[in-house]
C-alpha cells in the first residue's frame, strides 16, 4: 500500500471518528462543566481558557474574568 492509500485510509477513519464524537457530544446533557485550558484548533500553539463539559469535552463557552483568575490561581 502506497503513501496515498495510507493517507486516504487514515483520513477516512478520522472522518468517521469525528462524526462519532459529534454524535456523542450532541446527545450529552452537559450536566457538569469546568474551566479548562485547551487548544481550540489543532494547528494552534496558544492555549485558551474555556468552559468545557466534563463528560464529552465539548467547548461550552467563555468564562468570566473572575473565573479565569480563579482557574489560574489553582
Give residue-wise pLDDT tens across range 27-51: 999 999 999 999 877 777 789 999 9
Domain limits for position 33 = 3-73
Torsion from C-alpha of 34, 64, 66, 49, nearest 10 degrees: 50
Position 57 pLDDT exceeds 90: yes
- How many folded domains does the chain comprise? 1
Please tell me the predicted confidence (pLDDT) of residue 42: 73
Please tell me the predicted confidence (pLDDT) of residue 31: 96
Mean pLDDT of the chain: 94
pTM of the model: 0.79
69/9 Cα distance (integer angstroms): 44
Amino acid at each position: 500500500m502506497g503513501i496515498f492509500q495510507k493517507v486516504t485510509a487514515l483520513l477516512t477513519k478520522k472522518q468517521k471518528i469525528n462524526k462519532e464524537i459529534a454524535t456523542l457530544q450532541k446527545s450529552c446533557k452537559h450536566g457538569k462543566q469546568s474551566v479548562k485550558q485547551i487548544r481550540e484548533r489543532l494547528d494552534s500553539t496558544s492555549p485558551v481558557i474555556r468552559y468545557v463539559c466534563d463528560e464529552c469535552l465539548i467547548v461550552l463557552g467563555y468564562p468570566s474574568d473572575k473565573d479565569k483568575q480563579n482557574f489560574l490561581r489553582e
